[in-house]
């Protein structure tokens, strides 16, 4: 029986706590009697027969949807959309869930005599996936069957011929999505719901949308009104997507939603200790920690990055549900919470976190400083329901090397954003007002997004907005072990050690002995803060 999440009050007998630090990790001693560590729940058991579970979900849909086979008929247009390379993290070992689900859907389509089938990677404004990444996600069989015939496509949010304007919501939000999907008789959307934010109406309304449509919810106002964007009932990001989803449904776009959840089995067996509580480390765990952390520290960063990005998560499928979007997402969210939710009592002055080597936007790539900000202040800070783990005016301390380094193929506009925009201001409102449109419509960034493997020109802005709520909430951000120049450019403070960072934080929060919460993640958790 897996144990639920746990909040440890640090005392003098508590062993040092694991902090991720980019491509490596360290042990840090947290001050006793005023620190606590939030540990994620242990991994839930996976379903015994994933293929049978998927088939059962397709045949027994939720909500008012009919079983998938009865929605399929000869002569129809079927579009199967799936989450891109940003999910799951780290990429899971094969067979990927998308492969399993899409093969099951295609089996039913073949039995029904459906010929016109197109697969679409729902990129939104993310970079195009490489052939190897598509092959990993979909498996050889699907890739070899569809890619050579041009039937495996990637959504292009800048292709005017392949976008269809659907209309406006009652709040004036324009909805424009992939034309092939919109004009299909049925869209089957295959999700991997790694965190509570994923899925629901956001799948189609964001994954298949254009910039014209996305800008209505990917903005500073929405993010500041999402408390947090991981809690869909208090997230303006989700409210906007839900309005768009309902407009799509009312316009006749038929979506058969498939959502899947995975457990917390994030690391291969030899890295099991990363998910364990430190006082339960065996001699083997300690030896592995010592050997891996020391050798990673001695390894050139490029090699260490390639080692870590080669890691494949042995995730197990914990649930799969299919059918009508909202009914499906309700059950999915419960299943995500079942794995992630940890009750936590009250807020502290300081929140500490170790940031790992990967975020949704640097799979097989460099975690540049903008993405460091997004992972810390965007994703990890928002892993709460109720209230943030840190009080208003508190300090966030993150541990990451934050190198001044960018992948010019994947993140070309990030380089200019970092050099030009952040050198001018770090205020999200100012940035949005003065710079966003120019970057979003820059023809060179659009060209790279459409033909290379580059994120859209506006993407770094969204990363910055992702942290807008945290920036507004916090009194200061300190990066431990980061490149001081890069950290200062982000508008944060750099510290050499955690002890220095805590001393700096005490100046901001106004007490010599601030209370501290450490977020012990990954594996992922979501704090239910009362």
Partner 1 sequence: MSRRPLLRGASLLRAPTWPTSVPRPPVERTTGVDYETAWARRYGVRLARALVLDGLTRPVLRAVASPTVDGLDRLEGVRGPVVFAANHASHVDTPLLLASLPDRFRHRAAVGAGADYFFDRRWKGAVWAFLINAIPIERLRPSPRSMRLASSLLDDGWSLVIFPEGGRSPDGWGQEHHPGPAYLSVKSGAPVVPVHIEGTSRILGKGARRLRPGSTTVTFGAPLRAEAGEDARAFAVRIEAAIAALADEQATDWWTARRRAAAGSTPPLTGPDAVAWRRAWARPSRRRQVGHTRWPNL
Question: Which residues would be at the binding site for partner 1 (CB under 8 A)?
Answer: 49-51, 94-95, 99, 106-107, 110-113, 115, 117, 131, 135, 139-148
Q: Is 252 left (phi over 0), alpha (psi -120 to 50) or beta?
A: left
Strands 493-495, 476-480: pairing kind: parallel
Task: Compute the least distance from the CB of residue 260 to partner 1, in Å.
Answer: 16
Exposure string of 486-506, with b = 16+ CB inside 10 Å and e = fewer, is: bbebbebbbbeebeebbebbb
Distance, in Å, from the CA atom of 428 to the CA atom of 431, rounded to the nearest integer, reads 5
C-beta of 145 vs 164, nearer to partner 1? 145
Nearer of residues 54 and 351 to partner 1, judged by Cβ: 54
CB closer to partner 1, 148 vs 283: 148
Shortest distance, CB of residue 491 to partner 1, whole angstroms? Answer: 43
Compute the radius of gyration of the chain from its Cα atoms. 22
Assigned token pair, 385: 């329901």
The two structure tokens encoding residue 66:
């009919």
- Measured between alpha carbons, how far is 178 from 158 in angstroms, rounded to an integer? 10
Nearer to partner 1, 27 or 110 (CB): 110
**Cα 79 to Cα 179: distance, rounded to the nearest angstrom:** 11
State which residue, 109 or 182, has the beta carbon closest to partner 1. Answer: 109
Q: Which is nearer to partner 1, 44 or 108 (CB)?
A: 108
**Residue 128 or 387: which CB sits closer to partner 1?**
128
Cβ closer to partner 1: 78 or 371?
78
How far out from the chain centre does Cα 89 lie? Answer: 8
Least CB distance to partner 1 at residue 105 (A): 11
End-to-end, the C-alpha distance of the chain in Å comes to 26
Residues forming beta bridges with residue 124, ordered by sequence position: none
Task: Extract the tokens encoding 236.
Answer: 């303006």
Lookup: tokens for 390: 């840190």
Q: Shortest distance, CB of residue 150 to partner 1, whole angstroms? A: 12
* Strands of the 384-385 sheet, one edge to the other: 341-344, 526-529, 384-385
Q: How far apart (Å, rounded) are the C-alpha atoms in residues 308 and 483?
A: 20
- Which CB sits closer to partner 1, 316 or 528? 316
Answer for the pair 192, 186: CB distance below 8 angstroms, yes or no. no
Nearer to partner 1, 139 or 428 (CB): 139
Backbone phi and psi for residue 390, each to the nearest 5 degrees, phi listed first:
-115, 145
Quick one: 52 or 291, whose CB is closer to partner 1? 52
Minimum gap (Å) between residue 496 Cβ and partner 1: 46
Residue number with CB closer to partner 1 (15 or 46):
46
Helix residue spans in 467-525 (DSSP H): 468-473, 484-489, 498-509
Secondary structure element (H or E) that encloses residue 35, with its range: strand 35-39
Residues 124, 211: Cα–Cα separation, whole Å: 8
Provide, rounded to whole angstroms, the least separation between the CB of residue 136 and partner 1: 11
DSSP code, position 232: G
9 vs 140, beta carbon nearer partner 1: 140
- The least distance separating partner 1 from the CB of residue 94, rounded to whole angstroms, comes to 6
The backbone torsions φ and ψ at residue 287, rounded to the nearest 5 degrees and listed phi first, read -65, -40
CB of 446 to partner 1, least distance (A): 22
Long-range Cβ contacts of 233-237 (<8 Å, 24+ apart): 235/197, 237/197, 237/202
Within 8 A by CB and 6+ apart from 430, the residues are: none
The Cβ of residue 77 has, within 10 Å, a number of other Cβ atoms equal to 16
**What is the nearest approach in angstroms of partner 1 to the Cβ of residue 99?**
7
Q: How far is the CB of 107 from partner 1 (least distance, A)?
A: 6
3-state helix, strand, coil in the chain (%, to 5): 40, 20, 35
Minimum distance from residue 117 beta carbon to partner 1 (Å): 7
Q: Shortest Cβ distance from residue 334 to partner 1 (Å)? A: 25
Helix axes 459-466, 428-440, angle to 10 degrees: 160
Q: How far is the CB of 141 from partner 1 (least distance, A)?
A: 4
| Structure token digits, residue 425 | 């201001």
Strands (E), 424-487: 476-480
């Amino acid at each position: 029986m897996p144990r639920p999440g746990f909040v440890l009050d640090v005392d003098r007998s508590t062993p040092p706590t694991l902090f991720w630090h980019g491509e490596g990790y360290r042990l840090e001693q947290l001050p006793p009697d005023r620190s606590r560590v939030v540990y994620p729940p242990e991994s839930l058991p996976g379903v015994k027969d994933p293929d049978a579970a998927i088939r059962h979900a397709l045949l027994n849909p939720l909500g008012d949807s009919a079983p998938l086979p009865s929605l399929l008929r000869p002569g129809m247009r079927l579009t199967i959309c799936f989450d891109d390379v940003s999910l799951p993290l780290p990429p899971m070992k094969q067979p990927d869930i998308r492969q399993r689900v899409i093969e099951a859907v295609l089996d039913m389509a073949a039995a029904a005599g459906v010929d016109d089938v197109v697969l679409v990677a729902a990129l939104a404004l993310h970079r195009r996936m490489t052939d190897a990444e598509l092959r990993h996600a979909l498996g050889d069989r699907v890739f070899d069957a569809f890619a050579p015939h041009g039937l495996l496509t990637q959504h292009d949010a800048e292709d005017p011929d392949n976008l269809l304007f659907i209309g406006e919501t009652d709040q004036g939000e324009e909805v424009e999505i992939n034309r092939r999907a919109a004009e299909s008789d049925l869209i089957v959307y295959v999700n991997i719901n790694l965190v509570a934010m994923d899925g629901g109406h956001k799948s189609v309304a964001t994954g298949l949308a254009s910039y014209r449509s996305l800008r209505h919810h990917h903005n500073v106002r929405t993010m500041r009104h999402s408390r947090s964007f991981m809690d869909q009932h208090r997230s303006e990001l989700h409210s906007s997507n839900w309005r768009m989803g309902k407009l799509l449904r009312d316009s006749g776009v038929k979506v058969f939603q498939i959502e899947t959840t995975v457990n917390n089995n994030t690391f291969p067996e030899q890295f099991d200790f990363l998910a364990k509580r430190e006082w339960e480390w065996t001699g083997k765990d300690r030896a592995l920690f010592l050997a891996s952390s020391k050798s990673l520290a001695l390894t050139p960063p490029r090699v260490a990055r390639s080692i870590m990005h080669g890691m494949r998560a042995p995730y197990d499928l914990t649930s799969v549900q299919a059918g009508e979007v909202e009914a499906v997402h309700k059950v999915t969210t419960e299943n995500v919470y079942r794995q992630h939710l940890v009750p936590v009592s009250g807020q502290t002055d300081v929140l500490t976190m170790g940031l790992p080597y990967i975020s949704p936007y640097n799979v097989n790539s460099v975690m540049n400083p903008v993405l460091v900000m997004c992972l810390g202040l965007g994703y990890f800070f928002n892993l709460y329901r109720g209230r943030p783990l840190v009080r208003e005016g508190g300090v966030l301390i993150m541990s990451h090397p934050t190198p001044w380094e960018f992948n010019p193929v994947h993140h070309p506009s990030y380089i200019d954003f970092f050099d030009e925009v952040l050198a001018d201001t770090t205020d999200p409102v100012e940035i949005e007002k003065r710079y966003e449109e120019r970057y979003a419509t820059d023809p060179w960034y659009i060209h790279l997004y459409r033909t290379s493997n580059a994120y859209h020109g506006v993407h770094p802005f969204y990363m910055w907005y992702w942290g807008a709520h945290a920036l507004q909430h916090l009194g200061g951000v300190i990066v431990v072990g980061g490149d001081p120049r890069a950290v200062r450019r982000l508008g944060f403070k750099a510290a050499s050690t955690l002890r220095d960072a805590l001393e700096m934080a005490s100046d901001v929060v106004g007490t010599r002995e601030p209370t501290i919460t450490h977020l012990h993640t990954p594996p992922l958790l979501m704090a239910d803060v009362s």
